[in-house]
Amino acid sequence: MCRFFQAMLLAFVFVLASCAQLPMNDPVKVSLVGIEPLPGQGLELRMAVKLRVQNPNETAVDYNGVALDVELRGLSFASGVSDEQGTVPRYGETVLTVPVSVSAVSVLRQALSFANGDRSNVGYAISGKIGGSLLGGARFKSTGQIDLPTSLLGSPGR
């Protein structure tokens, strides 16, 4: 029994020593860089969301698939997935395109929120996962604000 515990302790020490040798990588940075319309079906809207992925590490990051959720004004707006594969080079960046779907209900909720709230800016949040071989991928979240031109909003009271 004593040899069993010695073997377990030795294995535990070996695992700890192995983990200490692993490089500590910073998470990839993901930001929204563009949105383009796509053909939709029925009451559904489709868009291609472009994401810039930056790798602040000394080693390249392979990715295999992307899942994305988009919120506008704190409300769920769109979601999508892509099986795109590739590599973000060391200290480099790449742009991924993810097709997303927007339901008619989401559009209606956003229209009501826009009509009842501040119209000069729209807060957004994107979150998701970039699939990869290292520990199953990396999760990301990014927030920002879109300032709408006053010429699109019209004068108050209109």
What pLDDT, in 10s, does the model give residues 4-44?
656 565 566 565 555 444 455 788 899 999 989 999 888 88
User: Domain 24-153, what architecture?
Assistant: Sandwich (2.60)
The 10s digit of each residue's pLDDT in 49-63 is 999 999 999 988 889
Q: Which amino acid makes up residue 31?
A: S
Within the chain, residue ranges assigned H as helices are 2-21, 104-116, 150-153
pTM, two decimal places:
0.73
- CA angle in degrees (0–180, nearest 5) for 79-123-35: 50
Name 8's Cβ contacts closer than 8 Å, sequence gap at least 6: none
